[in-house]
Amino acid sequence: MKAIILVGGLGTRLRPLTLTVPKPLVDFANKPFILHQIEALKAIGISEVILAINYQAEVMLNFLKNIEENVGLKISCSQETEPLGTAGPLALARERLVGGAKEPFFVLNSDIICEFPLKDMIAFHKHHGGEASIMVAEVEDPSKYGVVIMDEKTGKVEKFIEKPQKFMGVKINAGFWMNIGQPKNYISGLSLYLDFLRHNCSSKLASSGNLIGNVLIDKSARIGEGCSIGPDVAIGPNCVIESNVDLSHCTLMKGVNIGRRAKVCNSIIGWNSTIGNSAQVYGLTIIGEGANVNDGVELKGATILPHSVVKASIRNS
C-alpha cells in the first residue's frame, strides 16, 4: 500500500519561516511536519511514500536523501513543473500510485497533525466499499474551510461547499486536530500535541528542572539556572538557554540562543536565531531563521525576516 503527501504549497501563512525552508520541513515539536506523517505511515506498513513537490524542490530532494535511510521506508518524489492544485498531483503520480493494481492509497496534506488513526481508516474504507474515504474535523467557524455535507447516519458524502457564506455545517475537510500551517494554529496545535504525548508517550516529555506543564526538550539543548519553562514549550537541538529565562507557549527551533532574563511567550523562534539579554518576545511574534534580537528589545506581534538584526522594539496591536 502506498501514500502520497501533497507538499507543493508556498507556505505563505508561515512566513518568515518558509522564506528559507519549505513548509513541510518546518519543525513542529522538534521534527519536520512531514516526518510526523511519514513515521505514522510506516507504522501501519505503508510500502512507499510519494511526495508531490513543487516549491523549493531541491531542498526537498536533499531532505529525502537523509530521511529515507533513517526511516527505512521507500520515499520518492513526483515533481510539478507548475502548480497543479490538489487533484493535479494525483493525476501526475497516478501510475506510481496504483499502476495496474486496485489497492487503495492514502492522500495527505503536509501540514496536518493528528493522531493518525490510519488503521481504522483502512478498515472503514474497506467496509463501506465506496470509491474514497476522507477524514473530517469539526470546527467552530467553518466559513474559512471546505465544508463537507454528509449523511450523518451512513457517513456518505453528499457534496462539498468551499468557504460557505451561510451556515451549512461544522464538519470540514481537514484533520483531527488542526491545520498548523499558520502561526496561531501552530502554537495551539503544539499544546494539543504535547498533551497527546502526556497521555500516550509521557517518556518523550521533559521531567526534570523547573518545568510547568508539558515541555519537550531535545537532549542536546543546554539550560541555565533559574529558568521557568512551560507550559507548552518545545526546545530544539543545540539550543542554549541562559539563566533566569522565562519560556511559555513557544517553540525554539534548532540552534536558538536565549540570553539572560529574556522572556519568550506565544511565539515561534526560527533556526539559529538569537534573543538578547532581557529581551521580551510575545504576542504571536514569528522570527525567521538566523535573526538577531538585541538586548532589551521588546517584540509584540512582530514578524522578523530571516537574518535580520532587530535593534528597536516593535509593538503591534
This prediction's pTM: 0.76
Confidence of residue 259 (pLDDT cuts 50, 70, 90): very high
Q: Based on the number of CB atoms within 10 Å of its own CB, is 173 exposed (0-12), middle (13-18) or buried (19 or more)?
A: middle
Q: What is the DSSP string of 206-219?
A: --SSSB-S-EEE-T
Q: Which domains does the chain have, with CATH numbers?
A: 2-135+175-181 (3.90.550.10), 205-315 (2.160.10.10)
95-153: pLDDT as tens digits: 667 765 677 777 777 767 766 677 777 777 777 777 777 777 666 666 666 677 777 77
Confidence of residue 77 (pLDDT cuts 50, 70, 90): confident
The pLDDT assigned to 282 comes to: 96
Q: What is the DSSP string of 56-91?
A: THHHHHHHHHHHHHHHTSEEEEEE-SS--TTHHHHH
Confidence of residue 179 (pLDDT cuts 50, 70, 90): low
Please state the rounded mean pLDDT for residues 42-62.
75
269-284: pLDDT as tens digits: 999 999 999 999 999 9
- End-to-end CA, the chain: 49
Residue 287 has pLDDT above 90, yes or no: yes
Inter-residue contact 105 to 122 (CB < 8 Å)? no
Of 17-26, 100-109, 302-311, least confident by mean pLDDT is 100-109
Cα 262-202-3 angle, rounded to 5 deg? 100
| Pairwise CA distance, residues 52 & 44, whole Å | 21
The pLDDT assigned to 172 comes to: 45
